[in-house]
Structure 1
Amino acid sequence: MTEVFLSLQGETSRAGLPTVFVRLSGCPLRCRWCDTTYSFQSGEAVPLTTLLARVAEYGVPTVCVTGGEPLAQKNCLPLLAALCDAGYSVSLETSGALDVSRVDPRVSRIVDIKAPESGEEARNRWENLVHLTPRDEIKFVLANRADYEWACEVIRARKLTQVCPILFSPVQGELSPTQLADWILADRLPVRMQVQLHKILWGSTPGK
């Protein structure tokens, strides 16, 4: 585990909700714009009971398990199940490169689809799409117009609007949020535009 902290959820349909974040260590991907590289090597081994106790100290009902890539750790699955058993509303942020089929069905899976500019397009595990339900969400992080058009084609070809809600995020410092919003409106695209609320409030401070 890298860290446990309380913040406002900055993304997804849960944006703005007070949330306990459990950040697990390690990730097999190296997306070009990753903002949590400090989680790649750091961390400590923590017993499940200790971790659950840390989460409970914050006294909020919403928990997000993130990384790095949390599914890279085999004990992520029992952690997710234990959080659900404890009565939390749980979401999982995953790169989309690893199998999501064994994640507890009570968990809302936020699955990235890596666009070309990420440098990790080849790691997309397309088989994950058949396991998603309306309680899950698909996220595209986009750096430019080419990424946007690629994402639009993926949505069309794979009929993703029939699967679950879709999120579009601009890469901070590379694609203007206003520009992305204009493209979405011009194309009448049925996606949720999002910015990283936590960065607007606190910048890039770790643990926020």
Structure 2
Amino acid sequence: MSETLLVNEIFLSIQGESTYAGWPCIFTRLSGCDSSCTWCDTRYASGKEGKNMTITEIINQIESYDTPLIEITGGEPLLQENVYALMRQLCDRGHTLLLETGGFVPVDRVDPRVHKIIDLKAPSSGESEKNCLKNIEYVIASSVLQKKTFEFKLIIASRQDYEWAKNLLSSWGLTDHCTVLMGTVFGRLDPAELAKWILEDHLHVKLQLQLHKYIWNPDTRGV
């Protein structure tokens, strides 16, 4: 039987987050998530909405866009077992591949060629206790070369979230090991306020905005 995945959508857009922000990117959004973050902006992908596609069908659709940068996202993409084979085959074909994961699942099985963007959920998400701290341990223990394929993302909705994030970064020394991104929950916290806090505390983090929400209506799907 062919390996299949439940795909919510595949589309071409501008990468809105991560250190790759601004580049044209093909997004493959997989369906299914077993968490309930309060400020999730892709809740439509958390269930079983989508189409079962073989890995070959997915790759053919991705490559029809003729764009070298690809992201696998969700939902929580790592909940579908066949995603590991999909990522491996895309890497074998020479693509630059990003994985965006909610941070609840260990990433140690992900092909080392994949650039891994790992969320660390702040208290306002309602899910911070589910953060997989093994991912932090894995990054710290990885070789110098492997560390370049990781980045952590912290989304902040309040001063409480910021203080939590600052303490987490300090306790793990995380910014010494990989890039850390810090952004705001869209419409909940003014990015200028977060920028002020980062500068006051001299945090070695990269402030990010969700570019796609400024380019298009923030509720628009497929962008």
How much does 1:173 deviate?
Answer: 1.3
Q: Structure 2 length normalisation: TM-score?
A: 0.92
Question: Alpha carbon RMSD of aligned pairs, Å?
Answer: 0.7
What is the match of residue 207 of structure 1? 222
What is the match of residue 144 of structure 1? 158
Q: 2:47 aligned with 1:33, yes or no?
A: no
Distance 2:180 2:42 in 1: 23
What is the match of residue 88 of structure 2? 81
Number of aligned pairs? 208
Q: Residue 112 of structure 2 is aligned with which of 98, 105, 111?
A: 105
1:150-161 alignment runs, 5 A limit:
150-161=164-175
How much does 1:134 deviate?
Answer: 2.5
Residue type at the aligned position of 2:71: C
Runs of 5+ unmatched residues, structure 1: none
How much does 1:122 deviate?
Answer: 1.0
Summarize deviations over 1:35-59 as a string: whole Å, max 9, x none: 1011122111101101000000000
Distance 1:180 1:153 in 2: 15
Runs of 5+ unmatched residues, structure 2: 1-6, 140-146
Q: Identical aligned pairs, as a percentage?
A: 45
Which consecutive segments of 4 or more residues in structure 1 shift more than 4 A?
A: none
Distance 1:85 1:194 in 2: 30
What is the match of residue 24 of structure 1? 30
Distance 2:42 2:196 in 1: 29
Q: 2:61 aligned with 1:54, yes or no?
A: yes
Distance 2:79 2:180 in 1: 24
Residue type at the aligned position of 1:129: I
Distance 1:38 1:91 in 2: 21
Q: Give the SS at the match of 1:175.
A: coil
